[in-house]
Amino acid sequence: MINYDFSPLGEKKIPIPGTSQLVRIMKLTSLLLIVFCVHLSGATRSQTVSLDAKNQSLGSVLRVIKKQTNLAVVYNDRLVDTDKKVSIHVENTPLAKTLETLLSPLSLTYHITENTIVIMSLQGKEATAFRETALQQQTVTGKVTGEAGNPLEGVTVSIKGASNAITTDDEGNYRLSIETSDATLVFSMVGYGMIEQELAGRATVNVSMKAVVSDLDEVVVVGYGTQRKLDIIGSVATVDAAELTKTPVAQVSNMLAGRVPGLTAIQGSGLPGGDASALRIRGFGEPLILIDNVEGNINAIDQNEIESITFLKDASAAVYGSRAGNGVILITTKRGSGGAPTITFSQSAAFQSVTNMLTPASSGQNAELIREAHLQLGLPEETVRFRQEEVDLFYSGTNPDYPNTDWMDVVTRKHAPQQQYNLSVRGGTEKVKYYGFIGTLNQQSLFKKNGGEYLRYNLRSNVDVHINNDLDFRIDLSSAIENRNFPWRDNERENSVWVDFWNTEPFYPAQLPDPTKIPYANGAGTGGVHVTSNSEISGYRKTNSQNLFGTMELNYRVPVVEGLSLRAFGNYRQDYSFAKVFERLVDTWTYNHESDIYTPMGGANNPRLTHYDSKSRVLTGQFYVNYNRKFQELHDVSGMLLYEVIDYASDNISAGRDNFITPVVDYLFAGGVNAQRANGSAWEMGRQSYVGRLNYGYDNRYLIEATFRVDESAKFSEDGRRGVFPSVSLGWHIANEPFFRNAKHTVELLKYRLTFSQTGNDNVGNFQYLSGYNFGSNYVFGSQTQPGIVETGMANPLLTWEEMTIYNTGIDFRLKNGLIYGNVDAFYRLREKIPGSRWNSLPSTFGAALPTENINSTTSRGVEVLIGHEGRANNLFWDVKLNVGWNREKWKYYDEPAYDDPDQVRVSKLTDRWTDVVFGYQSAGLFTSYDEIQALGYVYDEDTGNASLKPGDIRFMDTNGDGLLNWRDQVVIGNGTFPRWTGGLNLNVGYKGFDVAVLLQGAFFFYQHLNLKRGLVYPELMYNERWSEANNRADALIPRLGGANSNTMPSDFNFVAADYLRLKTLSIGYRIDERYLQRLRLRGLRIQLSGLNLFTFSKMNRYDLDPEAPSGYGGYYYPQMKTLSFGVNLTL
């Protein structure tokens, strides 16, 4: 192939291999002169220029000509030596004469076309060959802009598979000759993502390029500032906003599971507005969550507002001191950018359905199981609830007085809708940049009729003002408004509609002949789930929550000291919550078809109304001195001094009345004056802190960071109020060492990290160093009831900070072009002075209420691994990464009695024991005959022996062989209910306009307590999997009904492994080609289909339970949901 290179001035030239090409190029160059002469413009030639150059390079003179004439200058670097020194002086001289004067002494000539000056050699042999090629060529033009619409100069525009290229001018315009109309244009520029565009016959192609940052040069938000990812020497992980927006979710926390090594996210419910995941870093307690440097609720923010999320796990979190003992999650919201406004609108419609849940048995099955249980208990036939004839009637369905009501079908729907809309605008000038956002979310309940919904509105305005070269100003305003409208019972797991569901028996009809009467279905006193799940019948719980954030920041760069800046930050946060709970009086009825008689069964609850009003505020002030400077290209020095003060206050009030005359008027004045109540409370607390940080880097090889933080908390007395928390971090860029030079072309990054840090925790009750009184039991004086007070107990002026010391070591690595990248971390944490009371080590005769003391301690350790691979082949891009985390905690000291008995030490002693160890009895299946029981060789009860045992009961092991089954036979049966191992596999693939994102997430080595029957109704699973005479199997899933009391003892029979692997998210998207959007004046359009919690592989599937279900709850909770959604993202 012949390579022709006509590169614009100042752009990297494409080399032409072999001197044999020179003659051909000269011929084509001569022909180019002839062709362009036909189009010579006299107006262009008549332009005048002024030059005054003495011994300057030809290239610099040509750049002056380009600037004065606005003409592109094109030449071949093999023929034109732009480094050659020239001298010229002309004033207001025509362009043609100027070029002649300049180029003739260099044996060069020129040609001027519409907007291009072509510099050529005087040798004309190349012209003939070039003419033949040029006559076949067409011209394509266009403009290249940045994301904000700003023109990009210097973008290389080339034809894929060929060598001819051009660069854009200072207005972003280009003009390129092509030989075929089906060519593919390639746009590339350092710092921007490459774009390929098929011409498809177009003569004009405009593109918008997106800036990209090298993974190593990426700036990451860290404590009270930012750092290059390359320079971070703590254990820090990030999640990019692009990963969060591919699958719409109601709660951001539900998108984080499996994305960060060491992060555990457990979603314990599917309740709309209450389905957030509990987040834990490295198995520790609840982390500190900061939104733009202020404490906030991660689940009250829209995922589309977020720019990035950073997780600080070791010394990197220590700078936050008392609040950072369990790690820190930093959320950074989006900000403005320069250029024309970019308007983005996105919408998603989703349907939610249950991942896995127990289903109720039919009326015939329930009646059979109740009868079976009663008979197994030895009850006489006359006291058994159902006769066999009645059981048969429930199965037959022929008698309307013996119905089979599927209450799940009656009150729930297969899919609950969810909708999300948001609109944002981003843009600005050099002086002012802005970002605005408005979003709304609607998430509806699984219950059909007035089952409730969750509504959220998010508003945000972030504005940055560049006042002058030394002063910047920032002002942010944001708000989240949450409305929860549910039936009044749907508030807590143990007092919810799902409790009523499992107590609503299928023996009652869903509708009576008289439609004005509500059927009774037990419901454990509520009338039934058809009552309590419908807010129009039972009453409602309406909650309105609002939070408002206002932030102002001033940043001043001190002009007389390079690298020194001052910063003042202030935030006001207000949270307001108002709840109105109205419980209606509902009459329910039973009906006998034979007698045609309705029997009233009473109301589900007394009519009552309660108002709850809560208001809190947080004031945060921060004052910084920052310094950042590099000396002699070797020494990077930065530092920070910070004073921070935070003030908290809260006010709460409640009021209510009972005995409403009518449910139509649901206001306090309509309630009975003799049944009214009121209550209120308030609290306040404050912290002040002094923070310092010093960073030093030498020659991009050696890094050190030292921090200190002094916290003062009003929770402690003056003697214990101050906590000092230091940290030291060391880093070594091994890949930058001279001895590593030979491998540098393969290894981009190899960095070793070592950190030590101390943090604190003041998570105890306020003012426990003071003795006082609480309002407690009431007393009757005469005929009046008066409030009483009780002592709060003994004060402890010595109570102080809980302390945590963390050691972390790690290594980061990356091979060239992302062939392999990742990091490995190992940590050890010592947690001391854990608050507790000496209830266990003191005798029960000690009469005083004991104070809280700093007495207990634990140790934790863990390992985290992230490994990934990314690559590109033509139009195909892929990135796959696997992360795994393991952590475990042990009691170093726990206040407890002094055990002497070896079995007590083994089973009960906690000191020096892993915190996730669970003891219980070891089982060996079920008894299948009386012969097995008689041949057992040991007894379950010292007094009665094995008299209570029957076939179908659990066979427990006498592990110590003493002939008696008791607590001494307990052994380790599991690892607790918190996962010891977590991980995720994240795959992203892009091909042309298509993209696919897959996240597999798992948790391992944790257990669940089984308690399948919590209410009056049996799950169908128990009917199908129970032991019975007809199903006399030792491996039956459920012991006999009405079995021995020993069946309820803690054992490995009802404590089962809950390990799981879940297809957490799947997203398939397509970005419409820009050429189809130009006529509509759109800059981008993407459609996507996505899912959340789609498939789960777990042993818990055998029990019809989700592995993240709360342990031991059975069906007494709102089940987890899977989501399928379709969305559109539009950019203007």
State pLDDT tens for residues 93-109.
888 888 888 888 888 88
> Where does the chain hold its CATH 3.55.50.30 domain(s)?
1-136
Greatest Cα-to-Cα distance within the chain, rounded to the nearest angstrom:
124
Cα–Cα distance for residue pair 110/923, rounded to 1 Å: 96
pLDDT value of position 624: 95
pLDDT value of position 46: 54
Nearest partner of 284 among 763, 663, 924, 682, judged by Cα: 763
- Condensed to tens digits (0 to 9), the pLDDT of residues 555-602 reads 999 999 999 999 999 999 999 999 999 988 788 999 999 899 999 987
Cα–Cα distance for residue pair 481/438, rounded to 1 Å: 11
- Condensed to tens digits (0 to 9), the pLDDT of residues 726-750 reads 999 999 999 999 998 888 888 989 9
pLDDT higher than threshold 50 for residue 286:
yes
The SS3 assignment for 966 reads coil
Which range of 77-86, 467-476, 741-750, 830-839 scores highest in mean pLDDT? It is 467-476
- Condensed to tens digits (0 to 9), the pLDDT of residues 243-268 reads 888 888 899 999 999 999 999 999 99
pLDDT value of position 31: 39
CA angle, residues 647, 648, 654, in degrees to nearest 5: 155
Q: Which amino acid is at 3?
A: N
| Percentage with pLDDT > 90 across the chain | 58
pLDDT, greater one: 176 or 926: 926
- Condensed to tens digits (0 to 9), the pLDDT of residues 20-50 reads 443 443 344 333 333 333 333 444 545 788 8
pLDDT value of position 993: 86
C-beta pairs of 122-125 under 8 Å, 24+ apart in sequence: 123/26, 123/29, 123/30, 124/26, 124/27, 124/30, 124/33, 125/23, 125/26, 125/27, 125/30
pLDDT higher than threshold 70 for residue 541:
yes
Q: Which two tokens stand for residue 325?
A: 């003992």
Helices 127-134/21-38 angle, 10° precision: 60
Q: Which two tokens stand for residue 1119?
A: 């089940």
Give the CA dihedral 223, 229, 233, 236, nearest 10 degrees: 60
- Mean residue pLDDT of the chain comes to 86
> Where does the chain hold its CATH 2.60.40.1120 domain(s)?
139-212
What number of CA atoms fall less than 13 Å from residue 159's CA on the CB side?
23
* Fold designation for 1-136: Phage tail protein beta-alpha-beta fold (3.55.50)
E strands along 894-977, which residues?
A: 918-920, 923-926, 954-956, 971-974
Q: Which two tokens stand for residue 215?
A: 């993974």
- Condensed to tens digits (0 to 9), the pLDDT of residues 357-372 reads 999 999 999 999 999 9
pLDDT value of position 41: 40
CA angle, residues 167, 97, 35, in degrees to nearest 5: 55
Cα–Cα distance for residue pair 583/602, rounded to 1 Å: 15
Task: Find all residues with CB under 8 Å of 253, minimum gap 6, and list them.
Answer: 265, 267, 276, 277, 278, 279, 298, 299
Task: Find all residues with CB under 8 Å of 1019, minimum gap 6, and list them.
Answer: 358, 359, 360, 361, 1012, 1013, 1104, 1114, 1115
Just give the CATH number of 139-212.
2.60.40.1120
What distances in angstroms separate CA 1026 from CA 155, 492, 507, 954, one per listed residue?
A: 72, 30, 22, 12
Q: Give the least confident one: 225-234, 459-468, 675-684.
A: 225-234
pLDDT value of position 490: 63
pLDDT higher than threshold 50 for residue 1002:
yes
* Fold designation for 237-341: Ferric Hydroxamate Uptake Protein; Chain A, domain 1 (2.170.130)
Cα–Cα distance for residue pair 937/924, rounded to 1 Å: 14
pLDDT value of position 776: 66
The owner of tokens 């390359």 is 230
DSSP letter assigned to residue 248 = -
pLDDT value of position 513: 94
The SS3 assignment for 1020 reads helix
Nearest partner of 620 among 674, 571, 582, 656, judged by Cα: 571
pLDDT higher than threshold 50 for residue 1016:
yes
Which range of 318-332, 345-359, 1067-1081 scores highest in mean pLDDT? It is 345-359
> Where does the chain hold its CATH 2.170.130.10 domain(s)?
237-341
Is 478:507 a contact under the CB 8 Å cutoff?
Answer: no
Cα–Cα distance for residue pair 241/343, rounded to 1 Å: 17
Q: Which two tokens stand for residue 379?
A: 């009850």
pLDDT higher than threshold 70 for residue 137:
no
Task: Read off the pLDDT of each residue in 937-946 and give the average, rounded to a whole number.
Answer: 91
Cα–Cα distance for residue pair 326/347, rounded to 1 Å: 36
What distances in angstroms separate CA 610 from CA 178, 455, 539, 582, 677, one per listed residue?
A: 77, 22, 12, 7, 9
| Percentage with pLDDT > 70 across the chain | 89
